[in-house]
Structures are given as structure tokens and as C-alpha cells.
Amino acid sequence: MAADRDRSWSPPTISEVAAEAGVGRASAARTLGGYGYASPELRDRVLAAAEKLGYRTNALARSMSTGISHTLGVIVADIGNPFFAGVVRGISDTSRARGFDTIVLSTHEELDEEKAAIGVLVDKRVDGIIIASAALGRDAVDHITGTVDRGVPVVLLDRAIEHLNLASVVTDNREAARRAAELFIQNGHRRIGFIWGPATTEPVTTRRELSAATSNNLWSDGERLRGYLDALDDAGISFDPALVMTEEKTEENATHSVARMLDLPAPITAILCSETDATTGALRAVRASGLRYPDDVSIIGFDDSSWAAVMDPPLTMIEQPMLELGNRAAEILLDEIDGGNQTQLMHTLESRFIERSSVTGPPPLRSRNP
């Protein structure tokens, strides 16, 4: 039916529709744009003409004159990461329901890419930005404050930036980690490994040094570590730097670190993993050491997955409310765009503790080389 479309075809404009319908542009624009008045008969003529010509509104032109683009910008480290993918799905669903589309940019956890990404979004005149910033403790965040200053609303996602005074939507990282560590402790564990802590090349032998390293860490990771330390403190267990991984955060390093911790004179009997890669890395080390969980080591990991449930034995995990995180972030941003005043700044969603079978008491007596 549209087979006869010319090669130099260009989409019909409101003027063409108006001409076809024999009315003025403005009238056509009013009925097509859904604003202002138009008599039923005129309306019908316009609609018919539009239909006939295959008219589609040009959102760009509309944005130009209205100044609003009905588009949200989303910046995450990696859209390929299941966690962020889930969050983006949440953002996407609720913004779509409110008439907004999203353009999402991945920064690969690089601050420079993040700055560029913000630039792109600002240039494209998005109506607001949701960002899981790659900024570490000491990093400057002018690119974010600058954006807010330009009048573009920003909400922080998953990673808060403490002094920034911006709405943030996060999960209860600290509480969740603490709860996991407490479960270990209740089960009698005192040597609990934490994968992973802040990546640093500096030696970390004191708690003060750990603190210092953490302050230059991703906020969410730092919170998780703090929760772990909280539990230790409450139980009067002294902090042992050998039990916190400080290598770069990769699955492979997790494996190495756990192997080392398992091989200590006083080996770990439990492992708290702060991410999927940390968990799978730890699992590899346990297996390679010829040990089994939970009998030899108990395990809890962040970020549940359908796989964790079919492991043998199934893993006790901490599930993050990814969709809800996205939903909330979008809602808050959209409300702000609609002119609503933000009352609450920090929105903390509860993660779900899923107890399965990877936690039990420490082995009665285990020495390095029996």
C-alpha cells in the first residue's frame, strides 16, 4: 500500500495536513496536538487528512517550542550488568507509563565517561537525569552540581553522595550486610571473610587504614563494609585486615583472596560476598580448596539470582529490589519535573534476606593441613 512511496519522501508536516484538510495550520495543530479548541467538523476533517497522509507528530519540533522533551536520561556503570538492567527496566516502565522515554548511557565506571554522558544528556535537553555515579569518595562532583544548577533535576541512584543534598534512592546496604554478618555470628562464626572491600594498593593493616581506603570507595560498597564491621563490633570480634579483600574487584581476585583466607593459620569459616562476581569467585575458591559449603564454610551473597536457588545446596542471598529502585527513582524525578517539591531526600528501600541453606555453624575443628 505504501509501495509507491517516493525515494525522496519526507514525512508530512502539520502544514500539509492543514492544506489537505483545507484549514489553517493553527487549527490543524490544535487538534493534532490535543490542545485548544476545534469544532467537531473541523476536527474530523483534520483527522481524516492526517490519517490519509500518514501524519506523525514531530516530537523534536514540539520539544523545541515547548521546551520539554519528555525524555529522561539515565546513567549507569554498565547496562549489561543484571543489577542495573533490572533497575533500568524499573525506570523505563514507570517513566513510560507517565509518557516519558529514557535514554540510557553506560559509563563503564569511568568518571570521564560519566561527565561526557551528562553533557550528551544536557545537550539533548532531557527533562531530568537519574544517575548511579562512578564518583568515589574524594572525586569532585561538579559535573553533577553543575547540571542541577542548569536547572536539570537529578536523582541519585544506588550510590548516594553524602554532602550533595540531592534526592537519592538506595537500598539498605549497611543494614543488610550487618544482618548477614550477624547471622554468621549467631551461628558461632568469628572468622568471617568480606569480599570485597575497597580496592587499594596501600597496605591495610589497621582499621583506620581501612576506613581511609573506604572513604575513597563506591558509596554502596562502603556501606556494605560498614555493616559488616558493625556486626563485628557488636559481637566484640576484633577486626582482622586479612579477612577483607582489597584487591581490584574481579571474580578472579575474589577467588584468589578467598583461597588465601581459607589457607590462613586461622582460616575463615564464613564469607560475605557483596556482589554476584564476588560470590561466584568465592564459590570457585571453596571448591578448589576441596571444601564444601556450608559444612566447611558458610556463604551469603548480595544480589540474588534464580541460579542461587538451584545451587546445591541453595545459597542464602540478599536480594536487591531492582525494579522498585528504578520505579522509585523515576517517580521522584518525574514528580520533581512536574514541579513537586521534594520533601524527603534519602529514600532507602529494603533488601530481602532470603534464607536458604548455605549457612550453618563453623566446622568443629579445621586446621590448614590435616
Partner DNA sequence: CTGTTAGCGCTTTCAA
Partner DNA sequence: TTGAAAGCGCTAACAG
Task: Return the number of the residue (36 or 188) whose C-beta is nearest DNA.
Answer: 36
CB of 93 to a copy of itself, least distance (A): 7
Which partner in DNA, a copy of itself, none is near 278 (CB below 5 to 8 A by kind)? Answer: none
Which partner in DNA, a copy of itself, none is near 338 (CB below 5 to 8 A by kind)? Answer: none
**Residues near 235 by Cβ (< 8 Å), separated by ≥ 6?**
182, 185, 190
Closest CA to 191 of 241, 137, 246, 128: 241
Which partner in DNA, a copy of itself, none is near 115 (CB below 5 to 8 A by kind)? Answer: none
The answer to whether the CB of 143 falls within 8 A of the CB of 120 is no
Site residues (CB under 7 A) for DNA?
A: 10-11, 13-15, 23-27, 29-30, 32-33, 35-39, 41-43, 55, 57-58, 61-62, 64-66
Give the separation between CA 14 and CA 29, rounded to whole angstroms. Answer: 6
Give the separation between CA 239 and CA 301, rounded to whole angstroms. Answer: 20
CA 293 to chain centre: 30
Site residues (CB under 8 A) for a copy of itself?
A: 2-3, 5, 9-11, 54, 56-61, 63-64, 69, 71, 78-82, 84-86, 88-90, 92-93, 96, 101-106, 119-120, 122-125, 145-146, 149-151, 251, 276-277, 280, 283-284, 287, 305-312, 322-323
CB of 25 to DNA, least distance (A): 5
Task: Return the number of the residue (210 or 270) whose C-beta is nearest a copy of itself.
Answer: 270
- Angle at which helices 14-21 and 40-53 cross, to 10°: 120
Angle made by CA atoms 252, 131, 249, in degrees to the nearest 5: 10
Task: Return the number of the residue (56 or 368) whose C-beta is nearest DNA.
Answer: 56
Beta bridge partners, 318, equal 302, 353
Helices (H), 57-97: 59-66, 82-97
Which partner in a copy of itself, DNA, none is near 52 (CB below 5 to 8 A by kind)? Answer: none
Task: Return the number of the residue (257 or 276) whose C-beta is nearest a copy of itself.
Answer: 276
Number of neighbours of residue 307 by Cβ within 10 angstroms: 12
